[in-house]
């Protein structure tokens, strides 16, 4: 596991880079019984989406694969979907 410390004015947190087997129990702990939004590209979701079934919302937020995801309209869609789900600032994604 790799922990990346992020600190900026007004916030401080860690980004954890771990394998999926390590991440799922930690995500379940962070979820604290709530269903979490899942953002993925279709191929990755097809391969691993089912592993998140116990903690993720029923419908993932899918973004295009590769460079096509790096687009302001894609970000706008993700933000709109998260707002529509009433996702709060501290919700793990």
On whether the CB atoms of residues 56 and 38 are closer than 8 A, the answer is yes
The pLDDT, as a whole number, for residue 88 is 87
Mean pLDDT of 5-33: 89
3 DSSP β-pair partners? 16
pLDDT band at 3 (very low <50, low <70, confident <90, very high): confident
- What is the distance between the alpha carbons of residues 69 and 5, in angstroms, rounded to a whole number? 25
pLDDT in tens, 67-90: 999 999 999 999 999 999 999 888
- Which of 13-17, 34-38, 55-59 is predicted least confidently? 13-17
pLDDT band at 1 (very low <50, low <70, confident <90, very high): confident
């Amino acid at each position: 596991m790799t922990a990346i410390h992020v600190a900026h004015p007004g916030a401080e947190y860690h980004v954890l880079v771990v394998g999926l087997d390590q991440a799922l129990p930690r995500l379940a702990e962070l979820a604290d019984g709530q269903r979490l939004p899942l953002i993925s590209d279709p191929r990755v979701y097809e391969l691993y989406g089912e592993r998140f079934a116990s903690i993720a919302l029923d419908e993932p937020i899918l973004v295009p694969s590769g460079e096509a995801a790096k687009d302001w309209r894609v970000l706008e869609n993700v933000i709109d979907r998260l707002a529509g789900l009433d996702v709060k600032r501290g919700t793990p994604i």
